[in-house]
Structure 1
């Protein structure tokens, strides 16, 4: 009996030893690879963001972007009227300058030349002139050299008869200086008369033509009682002294007066009531006895340009 027990014990021990050994080809469970930390990291990096974090992120993004749509329309609304308003103005201005669009008036103060049944006595006295006095006070040259009205300012009257165009001019000038003559007379105290004899023939032309005249008047070389002269600058083909123009002048304290009679034959015109012509009356000033130069000029034309007759005004012959 004792031998059987010993034998059974030995067999049990042998089976236990066999169970503990790994034989080739025998299947085994893999060694565990720290499952617990893996679960922890999975929870930390999960793609499912907790609900408590998500709303703040979304709200902040929306609030920051909201102002942009509001600002963009506002900027467009402000710019649009400015562009639309500016464009028509620019186009209209350019069109008027680029094309000779028909116009019915010219700028400046229009003048009426009254018919004088009795020609004024050429003595520099305005007493016989029962006509309107017009200003010639726009400073169109040498603003820096013109001190004030007493230094240079002008006014004029205009009339006509069958033989002459009459112009009377009063000039405020604190010092009469004229030592130049001929084509250079503008480099001293002098008068300029612009006259367009074919106003409606080239109403919109901004360049000179053969029917435009530029005449200079010297009230006296050296002094107001000196030799008087009329000079035609334009048309250049006819340039030279005009001996048939009558000139009379007189001076007074701080001023001088000039009466001028220009034969209609100079312009090639047979005058009649109702006729209209282009006109410009300007006065040049020089205060330097030692030098011939044009320091300043005043005119009845606010935008006077000798080369551009559209800047001249209009005179109407009236009877």
Structure 2
């Protein structure tokens, strides 16, 4: 039928050729014989016209969109019926093709869109969404093929509101069917929940990610698997695929891709403002942006690490109560806790106001379907340099220290103390699990056994020595663990079980030191992985205002590990933003530095638990030791 209409005239539109077929309509290039201009004629598929209510809605949506007059929204001229009763829309014809076609063409020539052009196009789409949302129109199926390009490169959004008709059609014909394109679908839309403009913001975030990295964040071999990733897995951090972007750009993409709508930009206008700031940062790399990006759950400051960082508004964590703090969960209970926590807490990308540390992967990885925050391959990953503003100290995986006549420092024997120090690092370390850069830093032993499982055999085979340091951006840690049996196994996807170390912190010890947990208390657990297919990982917990333990999954912690002849090492960088605080010399935090041992391969039993504080108890920060941020060793 598509070719049968070529050459025919419908009202004043003479059809010249067929352009495309979508989920509910054929699109033709036609000519308005009265005004002598080209038009795109969208004719509803005959199979959908059996439902009169659907046909009427098609026309109502078209009439609503026709009232919009915006340079970045396709203009609808008229609506009508063909001679055989099929509804049609006569729309503005955009000859420049779609964004999808341009990206495909560039990729075929091993090229990509420039960052400035990406942010400019995204800003234009955000403008279109802002106008549509104010008129009560939600796109629901925003994707690169629905973004057309004028000959001058300007973005024009099409199919606005028509997706709502498609969605209604699906409900009428296929119960439980979810409309939309899986690669760009928001989590709430994937579950069939009612959507608002924030679903379009999520879709634009996916498009942003794709334009900047060359691939969508979630890919799998079936639509259902892609939808599952949207629901349950964090997107691979953009910084892993592009190391040369500004912090503002990374932040903007991350905020768009939040799973929960209330954690995204709440309006397209907010997103537009963030894109403007990102574009300004990309075009002027030396610009130190100190304005705050307003977000629904927090304010993210974009600053230079050389300047004090304003305290971030605390992130409201997902309130999933754990039956007990992780070190006290044993046997099957521990496995359940780990499964629930790990699925929700798999590390996401960094979104603080500083450039990110570089993590060099030492592991070989699973297939592309196993999403991790570290590059995985069958050979060592080549590190890529992060481009940072001048005078910015960044944990670096590529710079080689210049030759020096000064001999390297002699390793300092570990000490047993409840009061640890963290010296200031003027040069950020490489986060790779190799602790050569830590030779001059005093280590603190987790020397006191504070918990043991009833099934523990009594063998003392675990020691852990902690080294800590800091700069204006991160709290760094290096842990050397001696352990004769390394038990680390995986049950399902994104699950860690077995040996680990963890750090408890009271970030406001001087203000609210008490015997109960509060929202400024954190526990961060670091798993070394299995040094084969299971990568290192970090998980964060905190407490709510009632002292109940809750998940705090949105973090930018970077962690790596290496196997040694006597155990393993762990190295990590924890953004201060993830602790909702601003560091300063002389600051004293409450701290408990811990390690746990599991010698029963294939189980999640935590047999013994060691801490650097003998009096340490789980829920009482006043029993923890201290960590002082010093200016030097």
The alignment's TM-score, normalised by the length of structure 1, stands at 0.60
Task: Show the counterpart of 1:246.
Answer: 558
Task: Show the counterpart of 1:76.
Answer: none
Which of 251, 260, 269 in structure 1 is aligned with 2:581? Answer: 269
Kindly state the Cα deviation for residue 109 of structure 1 after the two structures are TM-superposed. 1.9
How many residues align structurally? 208
Kindly state the Cα deviation for residue 238 of structure 1 after the two structures are TM-superposed. 5.5
Task: Show the counterpart of 2:466.
Answer: 156
- Tell me: higher relative CO, structure 1 or 2? Use CA pairs within 8 A at least 6 residues apart: 1
Partners in 1 of 2:434 and 2:607 — Cα distance?
28
Contact 2:489 2:602 in 1 (8 A): no
1:197 aligns with 2:507: yes
Task: Show the counterpart of 2:593.
Answer: 281
Task: Show the counterpart of 1:176.
Answer: 486
Aligned Cα root-mean-square deviation (Å) = 2.4
Q: Deviations over 1:128-182 (max 9, x none)?
A: 112111111211122743412xx21111101000100001101110111122589
Contact 1:280 1:301 in 2 (8 A): yes
Partners in 1 of 2:601 and 2:608 — Cα distance?
15
Kindly state the Cα deviation for residue 117 of structure 1 after the two structures are TM-superposed. 0.4
Aligned pairs (5 A) from 1:74-223: 109-129=418-438, 130-142=440-452, 144-148=456-460, 151-179=461-489, 185=496, 187-203=497-513, 205-220=514-529, 222-223=530-531
Contact 2:417 2:444 in 1 (8 A): no
Task: Show the counterpart of 1:38.
Answer: none
Partners in 2 of 1:229 and 1:193 — Cα distance?
14
Task: Show the counterpart of 1:235.
Answer: 543
Partners in 2 of 1:131 and 1:242 — Cα distance?
30
Partners in 2 of 1:305 and 1:234 — Cα distance?
16
Contact 1:193 1:281 in 2 (8 A): yes
* Ranges in structure 2 where 5+ consecutive residues have no aligned partner: 1-415
Contact 1:146 1:152 in 2 (8 A): no
SS at match of 1:145: coil
The alignment's TM-score, normalised by the length of structure 2, stands at 0.31
SS at match of 1:274: coil
Partners in 1 of 2:532 and 2:507 — Cα distance?
30
More strand by share: 1
Contact 1:192 1:216 in 2 (8 A): yes
Distance verdict in 2 for CA 1:146–1:226, change over 3 Å:
farther
Distance verdict in 2 for CA 1:297–1:242, change over 3 Å:
farther
Distance verdict in 2 for CA 1:139–1:180, change over 3 Å:
farther
* Ranges in structure 1 where 5+ consecutive residues have no aligned partner: 1-106
Contact 1:219 1:248 in 2 (8 A): yes
Larger Rg: 1
Q: Deviations over 1:7-54 (max 9, x none)?
A: xxxxxxxxxxxxxxxxxxxxxxxxxxxxxxxxxxxxxxxxxxxxxxxx
Partners in 2 of 1:285 and 1:248 — Cα distance?
19
Distance verdict in 2 for CA 1:110–1:191, change over 3 Å:
same
SS at match of 2:436: coil
SS at match of 1:277: strand
Which of 572, 575, 597 in structure 2 is aligned with 1:260? Answer: 572
Kindly state the Cα deviation for residue 233 of structure 1 after the two structures are TM-superposed. 2.3
Q: Deviations over 1:268-308 (max 9, x none)?
A: 11111011100111111111112221111111111221201
